[in-house]
Structure 1
Amino acid sequence: MQPSIEQEGEFKGWQYWPEEPFESRAGPFYRKVDDKGVIGAFRAERRHMNAGGSVHGGCLMSFADFMLFSIAWDSFTDGSMGVTLTMNSEFLAAAREGELLTSRGEVLRAGRSVLFVRGMIYAEERSCFSFSGTIKKFSPRPA
């Protein structure tokens, strides 16, 4: 599945995956590559909030899962796919409506069939959520 390029607005030029129905509704989440590596982002809107007025934990976890694959994207150039095996996370600080949430991370190890990834989500400049996870690579079954 290849990403599309946003054509307008704040994230013009960033990549996203319109074929991912859940991520499109939960986010949308965006990624690009800059001189420091992969960066992901989304703008916290009212629909991302919980009753307490901060970004819902499930939204942060969905963004973190998106980032696991965004960070590891280069490991899938052989046509393989992947599924999340594990994801660990820590909530560090609240993110508020209107804030720009960004994320960066790294592949710790890329084995033949399992990838180990970690990253951090920032609300503006504040660290608000750390995550790590493993991805299981597999070849798609013929149709």
Structure 2
Amino acid sequence: MTDTHMAGPAAGFEAADIGGIFATHNGPLYARWHDEHLQLGFRVGPQQVNPGQQCHGGMLSTFVDILLSTAAQYQTDIPRVFLPTISLQMDFIAGAPLGSWVQGQADILRVTRNLVFSQALVHADGVLAMRASGVFRRGPLLPDSSGDQLLQLPGMPVRPRAGP
């Protein structure tokens, strides 16, 4: 018998090496391309819950920070740049219990010369769990990484490479 927290990702999601070592340590994260949007998700494991057996707010905050900034890299035509968080607002609407599938999708609201504005909804097993918005500063170009090369999801447009 398989524990629910050991179940794999939702249909169509693939392991995604994004968010650096911090995200890898706190994940794993999964991704898929759906209706011109990058969707990210993770299965709530025992290492991500609070004493109430719900996904810890810090994990959900980390997840939405990665979701909002990563979506900007793939849903806009900006080059791959470092996007440090300027502002992050979150409303926790419902819990995400141990074993639940947490999935989010972001919309990029506006891109200026220096900033990116985005918002996201996050669901846990189909129930709205979180609403978030963020502002990110457009920083220096980032070199391509192995994670970028792996994030070639079915249906996703091919991104131009930053350099050699």
CA offset at residue 30 of structure 1?
2.2
1:1-143 paired onto structure 2 within 5 Å = 10=9, 14=14, 16-17=16-17, 20-35=20-35, 37-74=37-74, 75=76, 77-140=78-141
CA shift in 2, pair 1:15/1:69, >3 Å:
farther
Q: How many equivalent residue pairs?
A: 133
Provide, for residues 81-103 of structure 1, a one-character-per-residue CA deviation record: whole Å limited to 9, x for no partner.
21111100011011111111100
In structure 1, the gaps of 5 or more residues are 1-8
Shift in alpha-carbon separation, 1:79–1:62, aligned structure 2, 3 A:
closer
Indicate the SS of the match to 2:83: strand
In structure 2, what is the Cα distance between the partners aligned to 1:116 and 1:107? 6
Give aligned-pair identity as a percent. Answer: 23
Structure 1 residues 48, 78: CA separation in 2 closer, same or farther (over 3 Å shift)?
A: same
What TM-score results when the alignment is normalised by the length of structure 2? 0.73
The CA distance in 2 between the partners of 1:140 and 1:52, in whole Å, is 41
Partner letter of residue 25 of structure 1? H
Consecutive unaligned residues of structure 2, counting only runs of 5 or more, are 1-7, 143-164
Output the amino acid matched with 1:90: D
User: Residue 15 of structure 1: CA displacement?
Assistant: 5.3
TM-score by length of 1: 0.82
Runs of 4+ in 1 over 4 A off after TM superposition: none
Give distance in 2, aligned partners of 1:117 and 1:129: 14
Residues 48, 20 of structure 1: CA spacing in aligned structure 2 closer, same or farther, 3 A cutoff? same
8 A contact 1:103–1:119 mirrored in 2: yes
